[in-house]
Homo-oligomer: A and B are copies of this chain.
Amino acid sequence: MPYFDAASSAPLHPVARQALLAALDEGWADPARLYREGRRARLLLDAAREAAAEAVGCRPDELTFTPSGTRALHDGIAGALAGRRRAGRHLVVSAVEHSAVLHAAAAHRAGGGTVAEVPVDGAGRVAPGAYAAALRDAPGPTALACLQSANHEVGTRQPVAEAAQECRAADVPLLVDAAQSLAWGAVAGDWSLLTASAHKWGGPPGVGLLAVRKGVRFAAHGPADERESGRAPGFENIPAVVAAAASLRAVREEAAAEAERLRELVDRIRTRVPRLIPDVEVVGDPERRLPHLVTFSCLYVDGETLLHELDRAGFSVSSGSSCTSSTLTPSHVLRAMGVLSEGNVRVSLPLGTREEDVERFLALLPDLVSRVRGQLGAPRPEEAAAAGSGVAGPAGPAGGGEEAELVVDSLGKLCPIPVIELAKVIGEVPVGGLVTVLADDEAARLDIPAWCAMRGHEYVGERPAERGTAYRVRRRA
């Protein structure tokens, strides 16, 4: 049963399992104690720290083990902000950071700080110079900037080294969230803080990394604790830490070969999915990307239903569609990129993924997508293509009589229905005519403009309606 969601959590690496078992016997005691069991635990902890620091590219005394990547981010951001509080209270993050960063930013804002989000392009990538610009345009002195090494949803690698240089020039520390990329190599560039999460590389859950370069101001927040340089309170989870460090070293040994192999498998998906399935958009940077991750969105598809169909067929993948989120909003990453969110599928291949499983995925997917589209009554590709010589429908209430306008009431209907209904009627107005879609589903805000771009129509804009929002589209093709 192929598991294609390594970016959420990777299965435990055999080396992690072996190291964990050994360390459970040797490393359960308190490393602060002076007796033999304590000294043994301390030795294991020190060795794990050295190994992990080497993989990160920092000094062992710069590296702290935290209980998770999320805690590393929360505590790292809070500590860096507190350490630089006298310098300023402004925080700069990219718009596509992990939600843990955005939640930390929201907490900072709630506490009276200010936050700026650096935008990304349609591939999800921060532009060179964007951090320099954000620091220049900041409302006050910037305490900290954050940038992921690579995006967790679309795989796009960020220009970390450039951003670090821009931050350095402005004397602002840069925190790099390396959760998705650390397995593939150390993060280059002159970063100040770095975080990661062991279960993303096949280590056990319960271990995050927080590196804070010497000289970076850092003030741990919250109650004092002597453990982990005062940066991560609580009894050390030595067995898991040992397993995390051992597996990081192990995956690094495989990294070059696996990166090449998985990149080729991902290229097959990137190339063939749009050929095999009509109306699919592959998103994310095609070159500057993680080797194992690809994301695409399928027009007229309900993401949750597609995930269920894939699960029934034995494939575990993830989605940024609104219907798969507890808040019923599309992923903030897809929103920031301004790309289609409906029928979104993220494939992230774990180490050792077999070629035949990828081939089977490619063989199955077209039928599954087609079945989901059929259930939703989506326009068939030939229909969509044929619709082109339609005449103006009845003028809707918003029409001033000047131009033909059709109103589609999709209120109360969830993604992808508003887009399907739009696609079905666009042929009914003449080229140059307007269609207004009334919708209250959040995904429409992203997917109607994305559909227009894919179909060559003009997205006129949105305005508040009596209920929901009115999205206006001008037929151009």
Any B CB within 8 A of the CB of A368: no
Any B CB within 8 A of the CB of A204: yes
Interface residues in A8-54 (C-beta closer than 8 Å to B): 8-12, 17, 20-21, 24-25, 28-30, 33-38
**Scoring A residues 230 to 255 as 1 if CB is less than 8 Å from chain B, else 0, what string do you get?**
00011111111000000000000000
Q: Which of A102-110, A378-386, A421-429 contacts B (4 or more CB under 8 A)?
A: A102-110
Inter-subunit contact B34/A311 (CB<8 Å): yes
| Nearest chain B residue, comparing its CB with the CB of A198 | B235
Interface size on A, residues (CB 8 A): 64
Inter-subunit contact A12/B28 (CB<8 Å): yes
Any B CB within 8 A of the CB of A206: yes
Any B CB within 8 A of the CB of A197: yes
Given A9-B29, A304-B34, A206 contacting B67 (CB threshold 8 A): yes
Any B CB within 8 A of the CB of A208: yes
Give complex CA distance A21, B3 in Å.
20
Inter-subunit contact B67/A234 (CB<8 Å): yes
Inter-subunit contact B67/A28 (CB<8 Å): no
| Nearest chain B residue, comparing its CB with the CB of A236 | B205
Any B CB within 8 A of the CB of A70: yes
Given A12-B28, A28-B205, A206-B240, A318 contacting B225 (CB threshold 8 A): no
Given A12-B28, A70-B234, A104 contacting B223 (CB threshold 8 A): yes
Any B CB within 8 A of the CB of A178: no
Give complex CA distance A55, B452 in Å.
57
Chain B residues, Cβ within 8 Å of A71: 67, 233-234
Inter-subunit contact B67/A68 (CB<8 Å): yes
Inter-subunit contact B3/A37 (CB<8 Å): yes
Q: Which of B29, B224, B226, B237 contacts A206 (CB 8 A)?
A: B237
Give complex CA distance A37, B107 in Å.
32
Any B CB within 8 A of the CB of A436: no
What is the minimal beta-carbon distance from A251 to any residue of chain B, in angstroms?
A: 15
Any B CB within 8 A of the CB of A324: yes
Copies of this protein in the assembly total 2
Chain B residues, Cβ within 8 Å of A11: 28-29
Inter-subunit contact A235/B74 (CB<8 Å): no
Inter-subunit contact B199/A235 (CB<8 Å): yes
Chain B residues, Cβ within 8 Å of A100: 223, 225, 233
Give complex CA distance A205, B41 in Å.
12
Any B CB within 8 A of the CB of A1: yes
Any B CB within 8 A of the CB of A69: yes
Give complex CA distance A307, B311 in Å.
58
Any B CB within 8 A of the CB of A271: no
Inter-subunit contact B316/A35 (CB<8 Å): yes
Given A205-B238, A233-B74, A103 contacting B199 (CB threshold 8 A): no
Inter-subunit contact A223/B37 (CB<8 Å): no
The 4 tightest CB contacts between A and B, nearest first, are A67-B67, A68-B234, A35-B316, A103-B223
Q: Sample 25 A-B pairs with CB under 8 A, ordered by A number.
A: A1-B36, A5-B33, A8-B33, A9-B30, A9-B235, A12-B28, A21-B21, A28-B199, A28-B204, A34-B304, A34-B324, A35-B311, A35-B315, A37-B316, A38-B316, A67-B68, A67-B206, A68-B237, A69-B234, A70-B234, A71-B233, A74-B222, A104-B223, A107-B222, A206-B206
13 other A-B residue contacts (CB within 8 Å) besides A9-B29, A70-B235, A205-B235: A5-B29, A8-B30, A8-B33, A10-B28, A29-B316, A35-B310, A35-B315, A67-B206, A68-B234, A70-B234, A74-B223, A199-B235, A206-B237
User: Residues of A with Cβ closer than 8 Å to B?
Assistant: 1, 3, 5, 8-12, 17, 20-21, 24-25, 28-30, 33-38, 67-71, 74, 78, 100, 103-104, 106-107, 197, 199, 204-206, 208, 222-226, 233-240, 304, 307-308, 310-311, 315-318, 324, 326
